[in-house]
Structure 1
Amino acid sequence: MNHGVMGWLLIGLVAGLLGKLLMPGRDPGGFVVTILLGIAGALLAGYVAVILGLGVDGWMRQFGAATLGAIALLVLYRIIMHVRSR
């Protein structure tokens, strides 16, 4: 099932919420920035999966990839903002 970019955006929204739940704590940008990072992470995960030739067929695999992408970007964002605030 291929949802395209719109599907990855919707999955990214939910994955961003889930990523925030899995990574509690204060984020420098707040809740909205966290959700936007989740959407960006989902899109990134979708494109990386296509480039690497990994099959993310089915909504469960897409959701898993999107959640991992969201968490990866949230971790990266926290690291960057922590270093910049020093």
Structure 2
Amino acid sequence: MITGIIGTIIFGAIIGVLARLIMPGKQNISAVVTVILGILGALVGYWIWGAPKDDGSIDWLRWITSIVAAIVFVVVYGAITGRNRKQI
């Protein structure tokens, strides 16, 4: 149970960072919020594609879905809080 929670936090942090790197412009969002939005994206990817395969391969559809979901969460968070991209 605890390893699943720690794994989800690590997976969410990676997903959140990848989502912010893929998005154009600068997002003025803290690291904690990035991890939380990444965890939400990871949970959405897990929910849509189900449990990961036990054959040891990488589940690319789950990763891509999780990143896209995290991007959506970052955009929605930025729109709600007004802390989206700054213009240079």
- Structure with max Cα Rg: 2
**Deviations, residues 50-71 of structure 1 (Å, cap 9, x unaligned):** 5xxxxx8652111111111111
Alignment partner, residue 18 of structure 1:
18
Residue 7 of structure 1 deviates from its aligned partner by 5.6
Summarize the Cα distance change of 1:11–1:61 in structure 2 as closer, same or farther, 3 Å threshold: farther
Q: CA RMSD in A?
A: 2.7
Alignment partner, residue 32 of structure 1:
32
Residue 78 of structure 1 deviates from its aligned partner by 0.6
TM-score of the superposition, structure 2-length normalised? 0.63
Alignment partner, residue 45 of structure 1:
45
| CA distance in structure 2 between the aligned counterparts of 1:14 and 1:22, rounded to whole angstroms | 12
Give the structure with the higher percent helix: 1
Identity %: 28
Unpaired stretches in structure 2, ≥5 consecutive residues: 84-88
What is the number of residues matched between the two proteins?
75
Summarize the Cα distance change of 1:40–1:75 in structure 2 as closer, same or farther, 3 Å threshold: same
Unpaired stretches in structure 1, ≥5 consecutive residues: 51-55
